[in-house]
Homo-oligomer: A and B are copies of this chain.
Amino acid sequence: MQIVTTIEELRSIVKWWRGEGHSVGLVPTMGYLHEGHKSLIVKAVSENDRVVVSDFVNPTQFGANEDLSTYPRDMERDAALCEAAGADVIFHPSPEEMYLEDNCTFVDMNRLTKGLCGKTRPTHFSGVCTVVFKLFNIVTPDRAYFGQKDAQQLAVIRRMVRDMNFNVRIVGCPIVREADGLAMSSRNAYLNEKERKAALILHKSLVLGEEMLRAGERDAGKVRDVILKNMRTEPLARIDYVELVDAKNLEPVKKIEGPILAATAVYIGKTRLIDNFHYDSEA
């Protein structure tokens, strides 16, 4: 496995692969990899001849008061995980390699990014779209892999790929959880022992909502209220949002008809965590 830091070198490797007739998979990450990332890499390795994992803490997707400077990093551990999972290349560019000083182009969308996390993080998805766009142009992958934990990100990227005619297949992969149910996230590293316990409230509350849906409840407001009420039993939790939205266009729903996404963002101390589940009343 190779660690590549320049766009030019990565391009020349991909060109060589293409000359050999190899298919290429891309797993975009911000590093500090966990079992969730690993599941994406393993899936990519099973479906492509060659796999690139990008490992880049993308500054443009952080807001001014967010955790860019403290975001956890551990390149050595990341490299070991990627190698074990079967990746061929880690792409680990500097911010200066990815964004020239007078960089001024961006990708954005005027739907899908306004609600859910977009409300609290109004510039986040433009940063995500822009960097993913750049990575697609650098790697020209056949398939790209994203986790369902970032459900809005996945929906936004699917829409971007469709709207902009990218010839890339987007593969969404299930949330990977700790034994006690907490969705894996690089940001879990921020949590102290008390917060780590409190963080369970996201999954536990969502499960209550999911059980209501499985039992036949079709009033989204009632499901949301139960989730919210349970969240509020945790004194360390400050709720950003709990929403039930259409799984494709991410517009809030009142009645459950067809596929929906139930998503939440909650601050546990200073750490903002997200979790979600999909439910399809017609499946």
Contacts and interface: CB of A to CB of B under 8 A. Distances in A.
A3 interface: no
A84 interface: no
Contacts of A7: 165
A163 interface: yes
A137 B167 contact: yes
A90 to B, nearest CB: 18
A26 to B, nearest CB: 13
Contact of A104 (B105, B106, B109): B109
A36 to B, nearest CB: 26
A164 B103 CA distance: 9
Nearest to A160: B105
A134 interface: yes
A143 to B, nearest CB: 16
Nearest to A7: B165
Interface residues of A, number: 30
A159 interface: yes
Contacts of A103: 163
Contacts of A165: 7, 134, 137-138
Interface string A5-20: 0010001000000000
Contacts of A167: 11, 137, 140
A70 interface: no
A71 interface: no
A5 B86 CA distance: 42
A108 B108 contact: yes
A106 B110 contact: yes
Contacts of A164: 105, 107, 130, 133-134, 137
A166 B107 CA distance: 14
Interface in A99-143: 100, 102-112, 129-130, 133-134, 137-138, 140
Given A100-B163, A106-B107, A106-B110, 9 more contacts: A103-B163, A104-B109, A104-B110, A105-B164, A106-B108, A130-B164, A134-B163, A134-B164, A137-B166
Task: In the A-B complex, list the 8 residue pairs whose CB atoms are closest, starting with the nearest.
Answer: A105-B163, A104-B111, A137-B165, A104-B109, A105-B109, A134-B165, A105-B160, A138-B165
